[in-house]
Amino acid sequence: MSTQTPDLQTRRSYMSFDPEAHEAYLVPLIEDLMSAPSLDRESYHRIIRRHPKMGGGAYSKSEIIRAFRRFAERFGWTEEHEFVARIRMKPIRTLSGVAPVTVLTQPYPCPGKCIFCPNDVRMPKSYLAREPGAQRAAQHQFDPYGQTLGRLLTYHHNGHRADKVEMIILGGTWSFYPEDYQIWFIRRCFDAMNDFSPKKADELPPGVCGEFDFAAIEGDVDGNSMDRTYNQMVSAYLGQGLGKAMVEGEASSTWQELEEAQIRNESADARCVGLVIETRPDHIDEAEVERVRRLGCTKVQIGFQSLDDRVLEANKRGHDVAATRRAVRLLRQAGFKLHAHWMPNLYGSDPENDLQDYDRLFGDKDFRPDELKIYPCSLIETAELMQKFVAGEWRPYTEDELLKVISEAILKTPEYCRLTRIVRDIPGDDIVDGNKITNFREVVERRLREMGRESRDIRAREIRDGAVNPDELRLVETRYASSIGEEVFLQFVTSRDKIVGFCRLSLPAGPVFLEEVRNSAMIREVHVYGGIVAFGGVAGEEGRGKSQHLGLGRRLVEAAASLAAEKGFESLAVISAIGTRDYYRGLGFADGRLYQHRRLSGPLSPDFQASVTKP
């Protein structure tokens, strides 16, 4: 497997490039780019062609950005952000207001036996070695520090801010990994964020990179061995190579070490504003919810897959719908954002049943996730489902069938949910038969436009990088029932119904198992859209018209506090991320053990203060 992913290529090119040797070529190029009245793709490439690279070829954007930073003081260039914004690559990545950093845990036995799941023993369960994120993880030998730092450096080299990081930890069933490994993994992610600094980025190493020694893995590394399961094969090499550090206790940390890293991150240049893990419904109980929260997590990706017990059993999922109900209820009580996975085209289902299942997803108050990935079942050669396919007992949907299911699902999605992904980014070579179009969402949206319809989910209505006129914003309130009480979705929208920011407020109606939040309303999320800007706001052109500079987050929190007070709650809790603690302190919240709290009428009483202050 090649280790030359774009991340690694960018970092190696950036670190080996010496702007001083190219000064005579780069300075005129940069000044032409700065003086251009406007810059689109065509005009950018016209200027690049006018200033060829010394020695041949063309200068990359990361090389141009590095040269700008090197020569800025010498030539009086002061608007780095404005310059970088003109030429940066893939600006869409940070337009949701955060920089997503995805890392993978190392391969480890999985408690599930799902027949649709691939068995690539080079990867954590359900992942494939040729997926982009998996390749980045393998480059760093699944080291959390290297993966995190490498991604932050790539953002920086390509001109993106990485002030506000959503840390996304993937890799099968998180809750099944040893606790020591979990604490160590997250601590090392925080260490990387704490060490990252835009001013010192050129001095930081790119992290652990190199081909992983798959020869240490017994059997067929593609997972095609029919007489050895994924768990048997992975267990066989846990004591050597990749898994040795875990088995011998080297990949472990204490809770105190993690807490120290978390405290450092409160004021770091790259702050964690969200931490996500993924797990199975049957691995969620009260103790697990509390432990995951202690790790600093704010969102849980959870595999619903189906809400039909018959389909779950046919696919050897290992749990029933009742387990999903229990998991969602406990996670809601603890304030977590719920990011569900749902799979149409599973064995034993059909298009009509899938759409009925989707109705349950949002029609039943016990579910109603905040975010959703729609992953149509893909046929992978190493999955047990291959046997059903060969026997003629299952087939992938035709393009028309899949188009119908996903089109109707999108239209059924309420405006409080964000459809984060439609169709998993699996390389076509890994799919035996069925849909291989990774941009299927675009195909669906084009069809909907032809029908005069459109999605109402959050992702479809995000303001992205558009300018915002605060005078035209209106606050829209949507209420819906949940398994623990009432949810209020507050959103600021423009006159064109573009969403600029939102808040998720939970108003529990019954008992909550966590004593710390037993009598509190809960802010589960506050999010303001627009390109990332620095903490505390930035003056000048960078901040002009940006939604993150309009104080919308504060206004959403105040609106939530008012609604909670009207419902009779005496306190308001927030499931804050490590990097947002200081922000909420500025809004009157006091630190608790796992949450931050604000008295809704008058100052904090001594009894209330004692109940929320860390021991």
Q: What is the pLDDT of residue 245?
A: 66
Question: Which residue, 333, 284, 326, is CA-closest to 575?
Answer: 333
518 and 417 share one domain: no
Domain boundary among 258, 274, 290: 274
What is the spatial distance between Cα 215 and Cα 199, in angstroms, rounded to a whole number? Answer: 40
377 and 480 share one domain: no
551 and 597 share one domain: yes
100 domain-assigned:
no
Q: Is the pLDDT of residue 51 over 50?
A: yes
492 and 444 share one domain: no
Q: What is the pLDDT of residue 243?
A: 61
What is the spatial distance between Cα 176 and Cα 164, in angstroms, rounded to a whole number? Answer: 29
Percent pLDDT > 70 in the chain is 83
Among the ranges given (32-46, 82-96, 342-356, 426-440), the one the predictor scored with the smallest mean pLDDT:
82-96
Between residues 520 and 47, which one has the greater pLDDT? 520
- Give the mean pLDDT of 591-611: 73
Q: What is the pLDDT of residue 89?
A: 46
Q: Is the pLDDT of residue 576 over 80?
A: yes
**3-state helix/strand/coil string of 133-165:** HHHHHHHCCCCHHHHHHHHHHHHHHCCCCCCEE
Q: Is the pLDDT of residue 414 over 80?
A: yes
270 and 285 share one domain: no
222 domain-assigned:
yes
249 and 290 share one domain: no
- Please provide the size of the chain in residues: 615
CATH number at residue 444: 3.20.20.70
Terminal C-alpha separation, the chain = 49
Q: Is the pLDDT of residue 3 over 60?
A: no
Q: What is the pLDDT of residue 547?
A: 56
503 domain-assigned:
yes
192 and 228 share one domain: yes
- Give the mean pLDDT of 109-132: 89
CATH number at residue 518: 3.40.630.30
* Winning range, highest mean pLDDT, from 83-97, 250-264, 306-320, 422-436: 306-320
98 domain-assigned:
no
Q: Is the pLDDT of residue 160 over 80?
A: yes
Question: Which residue, 366, 358, 379, is CA-closest to 308?
Answer: 358
409 and 487 share one domain: no
What is the spatial distance between Cα 108 and Cα 110, in angstroms, rounded to a whole number? Answer: 6
Amino acid (1-letter code) at residue 595: Y
Residue 276's pLDDT band (cuts 50, 70, 90): very high
- Give the mean pLDDT of 381-389: 94
The angle subtended at Cα 466 by Cα 465 and Cα 472, nearest 5°, is: 140
What contacts 514, CB < 8 A, 6 or more positions away? Answer: 289, 290, 333, 334, 594
Q: Is the pLDDT of residue 565 over 70?
A: yes
Residue 135's pLDDT band (cuts 50, 70, 90): confident
| Residue 37, both tokens | 């009245």
Q: What is the pLDDT of residue 306?
A: 98
Q: Is the pLDDT of residue 606 over 60?
A: no
- Give the mean pLDDT of 412-429: 92
Q: What is the pLDDT of residue 228?
A: 74
59 domain-assigned:
yes
Domain boundary among 460, 485, 510: 460
Q: Is the pLDDT of residue 24 over 90?
A: no
**3-state helix/strand/coil string of 118-137:** CCCCCCCCCCCCCCHHHHHH
1 domain-assigned:
no
Domain that holds residue 124: 108-274
DSSP code at position 462: B
What is the spatial distance between Cα 574 and Cα 526, in angstroms, rounded to a whole number? Answer: 9
Amino acid (1-letter code) at residue 169: I
Q: Is the pLDDT of residue 478 over 90?
A: yes
- Give the mean pLDDT of 180-189: 95
Amino acid (1-letter code) at residue 366: D
Mean pLDDT of the chain: 85
Domain boundary among 28, 61, 90: 90
Q: Is the pLDDT of residue 33 over 50?
A: yes
Q: What is the dihedral of CA 104, 107, 108, 112, to 10 degrees?
A: 80
Question: Which residue, 498, 494, 559, 497, is CA-closest to 526?
Answer: 559
Percent pLDDT > 90 in the chain is 58
- Give the mean pLDDT of 382-390: 94
Q: What is the pLDDT of residue 341?
A: 97
Q: Is the pLDDT of residue 447 over 60?
A: yes
- Give the mean pLDDT of 108-121: 92
Question: Which residue, 40, 165, 175, 58, is CA-closest to 105?
Answer: 175
3-state helix, strand, coil in the chain (%, to 5): 45, 15, 40
Q: What is the pLDDT of residue 211?
A: 45
What is the spatial distance between Cα 532 and Cα 541, in angstroms, rounded to a whole number? Answer: 14
Q: Is the pLDDT of residue 523 over 60?
A: yes
146 and 287 share one domain: no
Q: Is the pLDDT of residue 612 over 80?
A: no
Q: How many domains does the chain have?
A: 4
Among the ranges given (145-159, 484-498, 535-549), the one the predictor scored with the smallest mean pLDDT:
535-549
What are the two backbone dihedrals, phi and then psi, of residue 546, each rounded to the nearest 5 degrees?
-85, 135
Contact in structure between 521 and 506 (CB atoms under 8 Å):
yes
pTM: 0.85
What b/e readout covers 53-65, taking b as 16+ CB neighbours within 10 angstroms?
eeeeeebbbbbbb
481 and 443 share one domain: no
| Residue 17, both tokens | 């490039």
Q: What is the pLDDT of residue 533?
A: 53
99 domain-assigned:
no
Among the ranges given (229-243, 259-273, 440-454), the one the predictor scored with the smallest mean pLDDT:
229-243
Between residues 407 and 227, which one has the greater pLDDT? 407
| Residue 104, both tokens | 């993978």
270 and 287 share one domain: no
Neighbours of 589 (CB within 10 A): 23
Between residues 372 and 200, which one has the greater pLDDT? 372
96 domain-assigned:
no
Contact in structure between 528 and 500 (CB atoms under 8 Å):
yes
53 and 170 share one domain: no
Helix (H) or strand (E) holding 422: strand 418-422
Question: Which residue, 577, 570, 578, 579, is CA-closest to 598?
Answer: 570
Place of tokens 């109603």: 368
Q: What is the pLDDT of residue 83?
A: 78
What crossing angle do the helices spanning 440-450 and 399-412 adopt, rounded to 10°? 70
